[in-house]
Structures are given as structure tokens and as C-alpha cells.
């Protein structure tokens, strides 16, 4: 039983470093890592929504070594991908550390 627990613990501890090592190897061969996150429609005020989205975007950059990150600030999982962000809050996007949205509108990110 102890051997199984030790093996499971090692797998858990080494998961992120192994994942990142495989990403680094891909990047060395010319791949670009692109991240995406979204926040569901809801009643949260914009300041909370911005804070939560930026936390997710930072994690994509730190854990998944994302070169670029894109965001849907207010979409439903049921929305088709091409319909997300058609009506996005432009002002909110200026506070997000994202490279753009799902409509292909990449922007220069002063925070990225």
C-alpha cells in the first residue's frame, strides 16, 4: 500500500513539471502555445469579473506557458464559439491581460 501511495504522490508532484517540459519541447520546435478562458454570464460586477478573468489568464501563462491568451469575458458554454464576444464590453477588455477575444480581434496588450 505504501508503494502505491508513494507512486501516486510522485505522479501528483511531478505532473506540472512534466507538462511544462513537454510544452517547452514543443515551443523549441516552433509551436506557439495559445490559451483561452471564459467567464459565464452572471450577476457578478465587472470588477470581480475582471479580477477572476485576470487570475485565470495569469495561470494560463504561468502553468501552460501560453505565448498568447484570449478571453470571452461574458459567455455561456452553450454559445457557439463564433458567436462569443459579438457583444463584449469594450471597456472591460481594456482591463484584461489578454491578447484578444474569440472574434479574432487581437490587440496590443500593454499588460501582457
User: Residue 72 forms beta bridges with which residues?
Assistant: 38
Q: Are 96 and 69 in contact (CB under 8 A)?
A: no
pLDDT digits (tens, 9 = 90+) for 35-80: 999 888 877 788 999 999 999 999 999 999 999 999 988 887 787 7
Q: What percent of the chain has pLDDT over 90?
A: 54
DSSP character at residue 83: G
Query: What's the pLDDT at 73?
Result: 85
Compute how many other C-beta atoms are within 10 angstroms of the C-beta atom of residue 79. Answer: 17
Phi, psi of 62 (to 5 degrees): -80, -45
What is the C-alpha separation between 36 and 28, in angstroms, rounded?
21
pLDDT in tens, 7-22: 899 989 999 999 999 9
Q: Are 98 and 69 in contact (CB under 8 A)?
A: yes
Confidence label for 101 from pLDDT (cuts 50, 70 and 90): confident
Amino acid at each position: 500500500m505504501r508503494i502505491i501511495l508513494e507512486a501516486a504522490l510522485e505522479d501528483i508532484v511531478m505532473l506540472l513539471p512534466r507538462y511544462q517540459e513537454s510544452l517547452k519541447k514543443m515551443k523549441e520546435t516552433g509551436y506557439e502555445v495559445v490559451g483561452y478562458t471564459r467567464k459565464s454570464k452572471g450577476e457578478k460586477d465587472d470588477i470581480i469579473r475582471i479580477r477572476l478573468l485576470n487570475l485565470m489568464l495569469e495561470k494560463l501563462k504561468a502553468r501552460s506557458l501560453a505565448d498568447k491568451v484570449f478571453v470571452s469575458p461574458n459567455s455561456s458554454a452553450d454559445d457557439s464559439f463564433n458567436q462569443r464576444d459579438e457583444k463584449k464590453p469594450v471597456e472591460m477588455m481594456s482591463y484584461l491581460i489578454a491578447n484578444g477575444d474569440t472574434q479574432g480581434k487581437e490587440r496590443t496588450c500593454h499588460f501582457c
